[in-house]
Amino acid sequence: MNKLASGFFAIAGLGCGLASAFAQDADPALVEQARLLSEPRSQATFIRQCTVEPARFPGLGDGVAAVPAKLFDNLYYVGRTDVGAWVIKTSAGLVLIDTLYTPKDAAQIIDGGLRKLGLDPADIKIVFVTHFHGDHAGGVPYFREKGMRVMLSESDWSQLGGAPAADSIAHDGQTIMVGDTPFTVVLTPGHTPGAISLIFPVVENGVQHKAVIMELSPRGGIDVHRQAVAGIAHLAEFTGREGVDVALHPHEMIFDPAARDFIMSASTRTAGSVNPLVIGKQSMQRFARMVGTCWQARIATMEAAQK
C-alpha cells in the first residue's frame, strides 16, 4: 500500500491544502488542476481519485439493510448501508437500478423495502444493473426468475453468461421510456469494461430535476484509465446537455459522505426541507472535469513509472 493510501483518513479533513500530499503518487500539476475544480462536497472523491492506488474503503461488504427511504417524490432507496439500490416510480410501474449482493438481498432488502414504502415489487418493469460486480449484480438471478427484464451492457453481460435477449442489452446513448419517464444509458467504462451510467428525471415538491447514477473508479492500467477519461468526458456531454443537477453513486460512502448521510436518514426528513442531493448543474460538470483530471494524473504517474 502506498504512503498516501495508508494516510487516506488522516488527510481526508485537510481541505484544499491537499495538492502537495499527492506529489508522491500522482502528477502534481494535474492534481493541482483537479483540486481547483473540487468543491467541499467532492473532497472525498478528489482524495480517492487523485490517488494512484487508493486503499480499499473500510466497511465495503460489511453493511446491513438500510432503512428504506423516499429521496424525491419519485425516487426511493432500498439498498444497504454500503451499496445502493434505487427505485424510480413512473406512470407505467417501477424501475430498479442495481440488485445488491445476493438473491436473498433482492428478496429481503429490495422487495421488503418496497413493501415498507407502500410499493409493490410486482410493479417492477425493468431492472438496470450498472455493472457486473457481485455487489451490484448478485440479485440478478432473483429478478430473472420472476421474468423481469434485466439490462446491462453487452460487455458486462458476457461476464454473467451472456444476455438472455436482445432487449436485455443496454446500448450507449439509448433512451428507454417507461411510461412518462425517460432513462438514458451512457457507457462509462473503467470500473468494468461495460459499466453504464443512467440519467433520469426526479421530482422534488413538483419541481423536476435530472439525476445521474454513475459508476466511477477505474480498475486497471493505463489503457483502462484512458478509457475511463474518455468515458467521464462522454458522460459530461450528456449531463451538460440534459442539465443534470443530482449526482448519485452506488457507493455513496466513498463518493459523497454528505449524500450518504442524507440517504441513510431520509426516512425522517421533514416536509419542505432542503434536499442535499441537488448539487446544481455547474457542480455536476465541475465534478466530471475534476475526476477526469485526477485520472489523467494517474496516467501520467503510471507512464513515468514505466520509463
Give me the DSSP letters along 36-85.
Answer: HH--GGGHHHHHHHTSSSPPPPTTTT---BPPPEE-SSSEEE--BSSS--
> What's residue 4's pLDDT?
33
Q: What residues are paired with 246 via a beta bridge?
A: 211, 278
> What's residue 56's pLDDT?
58
Domain 69-305: CATH superfamily is Ribonuclease Z/Hydroxyacylglutathione hydrolase-like (3.60.15.10)
- From 46, 53, 85, select the one nearest 69 (Cα to Cα): 85
Q: How far apart are CA 140 and CA 102, in angstroms?
A: 8
Task: Report whether 113 contacts 68 (CB < 8 A).
Answer: yes
Task: Report whether 252 contacts 266 (CB < 8 A).
Answer: no
Q: pLDDT tens-digit profile of 69-123?
A: 999 999 999 999 989 999 999 999 999 999 999 999 999 999 999 999 999 999 9
> What's residue 51's pLDDT?
85
> What's residue 267's pLDDT?
73
Bridge-based pairing of strands 207-213 and 196-204 is: antiparallel
Q: How far apart are CA 42 and CA 15, in angstroms?
A: 10
> What's residue 53's pLDDT?
74
Q: Which cell is 62 given?
A: 460489511
Q: Which cell is 139 given?
A: 440479485
Q: How far apart are CA 276 and CA 73, in angstroms?
A: 14
> What's residue 13's pLDDT?
36
Residues of the chain with pLDDT under 50: 1-24
Q: What residues are paired with 126 via a beta bridge?
A: 95, 149
> What's residue 57's pLDDT?
55
pTM (predicted TM-score): 0.90
Q: Phi first, then psi: what are they for 97, rounded to 5°?
A: -120, 115
> What's residue 60's pLDDT?
56
Q: pLDDT tens-digit profile of 183-211?
A: 999 999 999 999 999 999 999 988 999 99
Q: What is 140-157 written as a DSSP string?
A: HHHHHHTT-EEEB-HHHH
